[in-house]
Amino acid sequence: MAKEIGRRWKAMDDKEKDALKAEADSLNAEAQRAWDAAHPTGGGGADGAEQGADGGGDDDGENGGKGGGGPPELGGVIPASMFKKIAKLDDALDNIGGDACAAGAALTELVATRLALRAAREAQGHSRRTVQPTDLAAVAKEDRERGGMFWFLDDVLADDVLPRLNAKRAAVTEAKKEKATKKGRSDVGGGGAEEE
């Protein structure tokens, strides 16, 4: 996925890049306002206070000692070291530089923020305050239909993520039913003995 994003970014002209950067700045400002509204007593705002000055302790030295890979205005939530671990899952990747990890972490954070904001709007459209996987799927489906940036998530969500979540939810529900049934049998068994 990172390779595809990089390829598309390189293929864009400066006008397209500037438009995306402006949109990212707008979304960052919106995210910061939402954070500040949800956390009025401070903690983790634009100064990254929750993580400390270095962005956290997950730095493996690959990003120049910068800790969190994300931009300071977002608090650098995704460490560059985490981005590196994910990127190295691709066997075709021999090595990745520290600056590339930091940039990848920052871009991942921006993309995740945008996806979360759009999914939150989708949830609000259904009078909910909690984002559900179906909200993410709705954003991806809309982008596939309109050629938006999250079009590539449509198949992943529909064919992989949502079925796994539904299977897990069904297994948990079945386990709860089985536990309740066993408990009911022991109660019925005990009650039946007393009636005799």
Q: How far is CA 44 from CA 37, 107, 142, in A?
A: 12, 19, 32
Q: What is the enclosing helix (H) or strand (E) of 124? A: helix 98-125
Helix axes 98-125, 133-146, angle to 10 degrees: 100
Supply the pLDDT for residue 174: 92
Whole-prediction pTM: 0.50
- Tens-digit pLDDT profile for residues 117-140: 999 999 999 999 999 988 999 999
Whole-angstrom distance, CA of residue 160 vs CA of residue 167? 11
Task: List the structure tokens of 167.
Answer: 């299977």
Counting DSSP H helices and E strands in the chain, the numbers are 7, 0
| Position with higher pLDDT, 121 vs 8 | 121
Give the pLDDT band of residue 48 (cuts 50, 70, 90): very low
Helix (H, G, I), strand (E, B) or coil at 77: coil
What average pLDDT is seen over the chain?
A: 75
Asked if residue 64 has pLDDT above 90, the reply is no
First to last CA, the chain: 68
